[in-house]
Chain A
Amino acid sequence: MGNLWYLALAYGVIWVVLLVYLYSIARRQESLRQEVRAIEEALERESEAEEEAEEAGPFLTLVQGEGAPREGPARARSAGEGRPGSC
């Protein structure tokens, strides 16, 4: 009977080690999946912001008047950022 205890312990250890390793792979897989999701969301947000800026372009021209220099979305954004040291 004592021998059977050692046998059960050995097979238990094998299963535990393998399951812990599989769990660690699953966790890393999930973490990578979340990373991919974060990148996708960031790219989507950036893409939406660009589209909005493009849509707002003609409206900005209207508000600023016909005589005002026409600013594309990129120029409008960079002008808004206000680089330090520039006047």
Chain B
Amino acid sequence: MRVVAGPWNLSLTGAGSRLHRTLLGATLAIGLLALYMAFVYAPKEATMGHVQRIFYFHVGAAWTALLAFFVVLVGGLAYLRTRDRRWDALALSSAEIGVVFTTITLATGSIWAKPAWGAWWTWDPRVTTTTVLWLIYISYLILRSTIDEPERRARFAAVVGIVGFVDVPIVFLSIRLWRTIHPVLVKSEGFDMAPEMVYALLAALLAYTLLYAYLLLVRTSLERRRLEVEAAKRAIGFY
């Protein structure tokens, strides 16, 4: 029993590790820079005025959500291949963060739409496909909570995570495939905005990507510790 009791002095999320601290510091620094660039450095947009500044963090959140769902795809594929539950932990963590960032995308988009389009919500192809994406990954999380058996839960979730990713390219291409009122920022000749706005956008994208990496590290560490605790409980018959 002492052998089992020994290694329990866990730092639960490894929050004190050098990587955590470095990533948190970089996220805060780049985040502050991105806020400065969005609010001060970038010029006021001629037609929409200050409300256009929502766009920097709206696009950043959307980019991060798509990145997060790509990681869910990778985690799902790797789990099905290796049956290593650490991949499942990565996929779950990334799906959760992806849902958070999709929520931010939909909420900020809706707030921007009110002054820009005159309505809080329209069934525009980009908005609709993004809502479908949000619902797919919420279903992914709900599905996980309904299956008790860990292996089965991980296998089903991996399949849903992989199939759900089909919607990601549809979201990306929706403004090109269908008629839409959603702004198209990147055209064949480059960004359709002032250079200062492009720099502010790039800073926001970097800030969000770092925030995603930090959250993923924290959430995956927590999930892995939970798996370890579960395994230890099974080993010592603590139920």
The residues in B between 208 and 235 inclusive whose CB is less than 8 angstroms from any CB of A are 211, 215, 218-219, 222, 225-226, 229, 232-233
CB B118 to nearest CB in A, in angstroms, measures: 12
Q: Is the CB of A10 within 8 A of B108?
A: yes
| Cross-chain contact of A13 among B1, B108, B222 (Cβ < 8 A) | B108
B-chain residues with CB within 8 Å of residue A29 when the two chains form the complex = 12-13, 222
Q: Is the CB of A32 within 8 A of B229?
A: yes
- Check A76 for interface membership: any CB of B closer than 8 A: no
- Check A6 for interface membership: any CB of B closer than 8 A: yes
The number of chain A residues touching the other chain, given as a range, is: 20 to 34
B-chain residues with CB within 8 Å of residue A32 when the two chains form the complex = 12, 222, 225-226, 229
Q: Which of A17-25, A52-60, A63-71 contacts B (4 or more CB under 8 A)?
A: A17-25
Scan A29-61; emit 1 where CB is below 8 A from any B CB, else 0. 100110110011011101100100000000000
Q: Is the CB of A10 within 8 A of B1?
A: no
Identify the closest chain A residue to B223 (Cβ). A28
CB A24 to nearest CB in B, in angstroms, measures: 9
The residues in B between 133 and 169 inclusive whose CB is less than 8 angstroms from any CB of A are none
Within the assembled complex, what's the spacing in Å between the Cα atoms of A35 and B2?
18
CB A10 to nearest CB in B, in angstroms, measures: 4
- Check B42 for interface membership: any CB of A closer than 8 A: no
- Check B112 for interface membership: any CB of A closer than 8 A: yes
Known contacts A6-B51, A6-B111, A36-B10; A21/B100 CB under 8 A: yes
A-chain residues with CB within 8 Å of residue B8 when the two chains form the complex = 36, 39-40
Not counting A6-B112, A13-B108, a sample of 5 additional A-B residue pairs whose C-beta atoms are within 8 angstroms of each other reads A3-B115, A10-B111, A14-B104, A17-B107, A25-B215
Minimum-distance CB pairs A-B, first 5 = A3-B51, A43-B5, A10-B54, A10-B111, A10-B108
**8 A-B residue pairs with CB within 8 Å:** A6-B114, A11-B54, A17-B103, A25-B215, A28-B222, A33-B12, A35-B229, A36-B8
